[in-house]
Amino acid sequence: MDASLPAHMRPERSFQGFILALQRFWAEQGCVILQPYDMEMGAGTFHPATTLRALGPKPWNAAYVQPSRRPKDGRYGENPNRMQHYYQFQVIMKPSPPNLQELYLKSLAAIGIDSAVHDIRFVEDDWESPTLGAWGLGWECWCDGMEVSQFTYFQQVAGFECAPVAGELTYGLERLAMYVQGVDRVYDLNFNGRDGDQKVTYGDVFLQAEQEYSRHNFEYADTAMLFEQFKMAEAACRKYLDAGWRDGGNKKQHLMALPAYDQCIKASHVFNLLDARGVISVTERQSYILRVRELAKACGEAWIHTEAGGAA
Amino acid sequence: MPELLLELFSEEIPARMQAKAADDLRRMVTDKLVAEGLVYEGAKAFATPRRLALTVHGIPARQPDLKTERRGPKVGAPDAAVQGFLKATGLKSLDEAKIQRDPKGDFYIGLIEKPGRDAIDVLAEILPVIIRTFPWPKSMRWGARSGKPGSLNWVRPLHAITATFGLETEEPDVVKFEVDGIETGQTTYGHRFMAPGAISVRRFEDYEAKLKAAKVILDPQARKDIIFADAKELTFAQGFELVEDQGLLDEVSGLVEWPVVMMGTFEAEYLAIPDEVIRATIRNNQKCFVVKDPKTGKLTNKFVLTANIEATDGGKVIVSGNERVIRPRLSDAKFFYETDLKTKLEDRLPKFEQIVFHEKLGTQAARINRIERMAAEIAPLVGADVAKATRAAHLAKADLLTEVVGEFPEVQGLMGRYYAKAQGEDDSVAAACEDHYKPQGPADRVPTDPVSVAVALADKIDTLVGFWAIDEKPTGSKDPYALRRAALGVIRLIAENALRLSLTKVAASALAGLSVKSADAQKLPSDLLAFFADRLKVQLREQGARHDLVDAVFALGGQDDLLMIVRRVEALGKFLDTDDGKNLLAGTKRASNILSIEEKKDKRSFDGAPDAALYSLAEEKALAKAIGEVKAEASAAVAKEDFAAAMSAMAKLRPPVDAFFDKVRVNDDDPKVRENRLKLLNEIRSATRAVADFSKIQD
């Protein structure tokens, strides 16, 4: 931890200071610090800076905060740590550096978790995303019995082998910050690190939003529109993928992988909303997941035929 | 003799894979050594979260030399053949070959000497192959090299390989090889946090000691012993008792290199949750042990955690951190439990109409209906109250839809019992909610309450008949619906409760209740019976009893009362242990053998009663008389289900059978006498069938 920081910027006092400390740490490791992707998504992994950039031979090191939207996890602001919107901090390094575990532990030190007094453990947890056609091996990282991060070596994304393999770290920011600040309710987190009148809590920022979105997600989200939107996003994705092959479909170079992938992200979020509204049956559920996966795979294929995806 | 030290140092290996990996490493290396002619004295393998280690001692320094002879062409063979021979053997000229004479002529013999190689060179060749082909259940690629084909697969990134070989008294050599850019050496590393520095090691002895100094306990058993002893002491010191849990101990010992056991506390209000739910919460999510109060036998509000570090603050932060994680978990569990209590079990049942049990066997609701009907039918046969058995079958599966069971599947049944009690069900009904799943295996408890027994049998027989009807029988190692376990469960329920039940009747009734129609409904009950016979044999074999006797009893046909089969097998076993039994068996087999030879010869059988007028010898007459008496006596005893008495009756047959074979020549010159004597032999065979088919008994 940086001792020169003013009190209100210290990661153990301030949620924003906590995020800034992580960003600064990973910037120092050579990561580009991106801003959140401007679309709704269920996890930071969906960000094209992870999903697509994990594919292809080119080195890529990035870190960013990504809001995660999990419509089903909304609890109208009444649960101390479950929300339909929360932040993930995502790090991706390709190829995975040999000292990624050490870097991760140093990043914990940078946010005030001292490995001399805490019990930090790497516990088996293999990661799989059926919607992204992706899997990897790794761990959930425990601090004193609490899962604080997910650590994964990507083996496959969008149905393609990762060569080379990227290492991915995902920090659950609120949970970690609650631990470091010593609060038991997420809405009690000190957001800006100030005291008295100047103090802004996580609740001040997000409690109303949690209540409103829970209402929306469970009760009012327009399902007819959402079903339509799913179909539209799926069709648009296919259309952009087809149109993107250079020289009329020679399948050698693709020019629209990113816009097509946006539609895949869109379809996935719309599906999550429909799921939260409870209008998708168990059997249908599987087929929707499969449809999103097919889009993700096709986008992955397009991506490896782009310049950043490593096409010659 | 020299010893090998091998260590594969990696990122954290999943706890569940460590023991097998250590074993695989030992087996693969030692098998290969032996195959290379290097017979070793001993080997031991170890695993921690970050390393697999192997020591093999007493390896010869060199392979033995190998001498082989190779037969070449005939003396005077064409030059091409001679040249080929010289090339193949490496001889410079035919002068170096021997000449050997055999009936076909003179041949050249080349002696090929293959000198043994140094063991260290052999190791340098075999170890990288073993590493590359190591059988991890799941493995991965990593780092820059994973961009190219052929990169190493390991369970998690592999960082260093220590491989040394040498005599105890000397500085050992490094077994030099390289795998995926990792060169062997003699450097390893200590505990991730407490002693992360490099350590130079020579051989196993100093390796293990240096690791210990660097806060790594290499031997998993030693880690388990420490955790177990410390946890017991810690709880005992506060007047409590550790709830022992071998599976958890195994797992926890695979998560730490330096176990430090500590105790934490949770709020006493959570003790309102059933003990089993508290345990599942703390065990599954937090990998901690629970603690009971020996005075009450109930859990207390303590838990035991195992950290991987001696924290500089003595562990205060770690304990309070774990307490902070356990609190919301228990709070969730309490919430689930209290929510569950608000809904009556029967009110959950309509939901089962939406849940498919198996696509061909219909919904869970349909299955519950079938089990209810069968339980009502079986109840009078096992002394259970029909109304209670029906009620229990009605409710027994309802807890599958509760929040607690959704969260912790291992407490299914048990929660049903809690919820049934809470809504005021009869004790037997509540018990059956839990016990109808039993026995789950050969070591599990068998329920004795008749209501539980009726529902347990109904449940298992419905499962067996259902999957038989849709032809989903177990094959080889595949038994996805655990049908073998279900059949063994039925056997144990019947045998241990001494129940009288016609399995074919019960199976036929269960079959009639299915909506799906089986292709061969006629054959199904007898097929299923054969499956029970197999299971019974397996069970007897595991108990060390004679499983071939099951065949001898089943071969009589019409046997579908498991209890009678078991009793008959027991009595038969005892009888065959006596001299009378052994000799009678030998005599009967001898009769059978003679008969089958003569039947083949004459192409006819020798059934039918012998003609008393044709008996000429006293032994014939005596045997015929004994057979008549024994048959009647044994059949009467069997009818009274007194198998011991039936066997005693059989024993009386032995002296006349022995005397007959001693004095009487079966193949008499007079064909009529011969035929009559063969018929008498057939009578021996049929007499013994009163108790079992002796021909199916192995000697």
Cβ pair B324:A101 closer than 8 A = no
Residue B503 distance to chain A (closest CA, Å): 38
- How far apart are the C-alpha atoms of B48 and B568, rounded to whole Å? 53
Non-local CB neighbours of B361 within 8 Å, separated by 6+ positions: B367, B466, B467, B470, B514, B516
Residue A119 and residue A87 share a domain: yes
- β-sheet bridge partners, residue A62: A32, A92
Looking at the domain assignment, is residue B276 inside a domain? yes
Looking at the domain assignment, is residue B55 inside a domain? yes
Non-local CB neighbours of B115 within 8 Å, separated by 6+ positions: B65, B66
Burial class (CB in 10 A: 0-12, 13-18, 19+), B202: middle
Q: Which residues of A51-61 are buried (b: 16+ CB within 10 A; e: fewer)?
A: bbbbbbeeebb
Residue B449 and residue B410 share a domain: yes
CB B114 within 8 A of CB B68: yes
Looking at the domain assignment, is residue A309 inside a domain? no
CB B371 within 8 A of CB B393: yes
Closest Cα partner for A132 from A229, A44, A56, A68? A44
Residue A226 and residue A212 share a domain: no
Looking at the domain assignment, is residue B648 inside a domain? yes
The pLDDT tens digits for A84-112 are 999 999 999 999 999 999 999 999 999 99
Tokens in use for A100?
A: 């990624």
Residue B123 and residue B109 share a domain: no
Q: Which of B298, B323, B341 is the last residue of a domain?
A: B341
- How far apart are the C-alpha atoms of B432 and B47, rounded to whole Å? 44
Does the pLDDT value for residue B395 go beyond 90?
yes
Residue A200 and residue A51 share a domain: yes
Number of domains in chain A: 2
Instruction: Name the CA dihedral angle for B630, B636, B639, B640, rounded to a multiple of 10 degrees.
Output: -120
CB A85 within 8 A of CB A213: yes
Q: First and final CA of chain B: distance in angstroms?
A: 49
Residue B147 and residue B28 share a domain: yes
Residue A250 distance to chain B (closest CA, Å): 26
> Choosing among B10, B12, B261, which should be mutated to test the A contact, i.e. which has the most A CBs within 10 A?
B12
Task: Give the SS3 label for residue B635.
Answer: helix
Does the pLDDT value for residue A1 go beyond 60?
no
CB A91 within 8 A of CB A47: no
Residue B225 and residue B150 share a domain: no
- Domain harbouring A251, CATH code: 1.20.58.180
Residue B290 lies in domain = 220-341
Residue B324 and residue B258 share a domain: yes
Residue A271 and residue A207 share a domain: no
The pLDDT tens digits for B405-424 are 988 888 899 999 999 999 99
Residue B539 sits at the chain A interface (C-beta within 8 Å): no
Residue B363 sits at the chain A interface (C-beta within 8 Å): no
Residue B25 distance to chain A (closest CA, Å): 21
Cβ pair B16:A167 closer than 8 A = no
Residue A272 and residue A147 share a domain: no
Looking at the domain assignment, is residue B508 inside a domain? yes
- Relative to beta strand A32-34, strand A60-69 is parallel
Number of domains in chain B: 5
Confidence of residue B560 (pLDDT cuts 50, 70, 90): confident
Please give the mean pLDDT across all residues of chain A. Answer: 94
- How far apart are the C-alpha atoms of B510 and B464, rounded to whole Å? 9
- Domain harbouring A41, CATH code: 3.30.930.10
Give the residue from chain B lying closest to A96, CA to CA. Answer: B143
- How far apart are the C-alpha atoms of B554 and B533, rounded to whole Å? 8
- Domain harbouring B364, CATH code: 1.10.3210
- β-sheet bridge partners, residue B69: B111
* Sign of the C-alpha dihedral computed for residues B674, B678, B679 and B683 taken in this order: positive
Residue B237 and residue B186 share a domain: no
| Residue B563 identity | L
- pLDDT for residue B479: 87
Helices B483-496, B562-577: axis angle to 10 degrees equals: 70
Residue B242 and residue B187 share a domain: no
Looking at the domain assignment, is residue B200 inside a domain? yes
Looking at the domain assignment, is residue B56 inside a domain? yes
Q: Tell me chain A's radius of gyration from C-alpha atoms.
A: 20
Q: Which of B213, B236, B252 is the last residue of a domain?
A: B213
Does the pLDDT value for residue B519 go beyond 70?
no
Residue position matching structure tokens 């994304």: A157
Give the residue from chain B lying closest to A281, CA to CA. Answer: B354
- pLDDT for residue B335: 87
A-facing residues of B in 652-681 (CB < 8 A) are: none
**B219 φ/ψ angles, rounded to the nearest 5 degrees:** -85, 120
- Relative to beta strand B42-48, strand B3-10 is unpaired
Choose among B140, B159, B308: nearest Cβ to A153: B140
Q: What is the mean pLDDT of residues B477-493?
A: 91
Distances (CA, A) of B75 to B91, B95, B250, B679: 16, 12, 69, 70
Q: Which of B188, B213, B238 is the last residue of a domain?
A: B213
Residue position matching structure tokens 């012998």: B610
Residue B110 and residue B122 share a domain: no
Residue A270 distance to chain B (closest CA, Å): 26
Q: Which of A216, A236, A252 is the last residue of a domain?
A: A216
Q: How many percent of chain B have pLDDT more than 90?
A: 58
**B9 φ/ψ angles, rounded to the nearest 5 degrees:** -100, 120
The pLDDT tens digits for A204-245 are 999 999 999 999 999 999 999 999 999 999 999 999 999 999
Confidence of residue B557 (pLDDT cuts 50, 70, 90): confident
Residue B77 and residue B42 share a domain: no
Reported residue count of chain B is 699
- How far apart are the C-alpha atoms of A174 and A148, rounded to whole Å? 10
Please give the mean pLDDT across all residues of chain B. Answer: 92
Looking at the domain assignment, is residue A281 inside a domain? yes
Looking at the domain assignment, is residue B432 inside a domain? yes
Residue A136 and residue A48 share a domain: yes
> Choosing among B10, B48, B141, which should be mutated to test the A contact, i.e. which has the most A CBs within 10 A?
B141
Task: Give the SS3 label for residue B608.
Answer: coil
- How far apart are the C-alpha atoms of B153 and B138, rounded to whole Å? 9
Choose among A126, A136, A143: nearest Cβ to B321: A143
Looking at the domain assignment, is residue A228 inside a domain? yes
Q: How many percent of chain B have pLDDT more than 70?
A: 100
- pLDDT for residue A144: 95
Residue A60 and residue A140 share a domain: yes
Looking at the domain assignment, is residue B70 inside a domain? yes
The pLDDT tens digits for B618-675 are 998 999 999 989 989 998 998 898 998 998 888 888 889 889 988 888 888 888 999 9
- pLDDT for residue B544: 75
Residue A278 distance to chain B (closest CA, Å): 15
- β-sheet bridge partners, residue A94: A60
Looking at the domain assignment, is residue A142 inside a domain? yes
Q: H or E element: which one contains B431?
A: helix B427-435
- pTM for the predicted model, two decimal places: 0.79
Looking at the domain assignment, is residue A310 inside a domain? no
- pLDDT for residue A204: 97
Non-local CB neighbours of B698 within 8 Å, separated by 6+ positions: B548
Residue A210 and residue A264 share a domain: no
Q: What is the mean pLDDT of residues B382-394?
A: 96
Confidence of residue A249 (pLDDT cuts 50, 70, 90): low
Reported residue count of chain A is 312
Per DSSP (E only), the strands in B491-645 are: none
- How far apart are the C-alpha atoms of A200 and A187, rounded to whole Å? 10
Residue A212 and residue A226 share a domain: no
Cβ pair B142:A139 closer than 8 A = no
Residue A262 and residue A178 share a domain: no
Cβ pair A119:B311 closer than 8 A = yes
CB B562 within 8 A of CB B539: no
Residue B33 and residue B131 share a domain: yes
| Residue B641 identity | E
Does the pLDDT value for residue B284 go beyond 60?
yes
The pLDDT tens digits for B210-254 are 999 999 999 999 999 999 999 999 999 999 999 999 999 999 999
- pLDDT for residue B602: 87
- How far apart are the C-alpha atoms of B600 and B611, rounded to whole Å? 22
Cβ pair A116:B311 closer than 8 A = yes
Residue A170 and residue A100 share a domain: yes
Residue B193 sits at the chain A interface (C-beta within 8 Å): yes
Looking at the domain assignment, is residue A2 inside a domain? no
Residue A240 and residue A182 share a domain: no
Residue B136 and residue B201 share a domain: yes
Looking at the domain assignment, is residue A1 inside a domain? no
Residue A244 lies in domain = 222-303
Q: Which of A181, A216, A251 is the last residue of a domain?
A: A216
Helix-strand-coil percent breakdown of chain A, rounded to 5?
Answer: 45, 20, 35
| Identity of the highest mean pLDDT range in A175-189, A256-270, B56-70, B547-561 | A256-270
Quote the longest CA-to-CA distance of chain B.
105
Q: Which of A216, A233, A255 is the last residue of a domain?
A: A216
CB A158 within 8 A of CB A297: yes
Residue B326 and residue B297 share a domain: yes
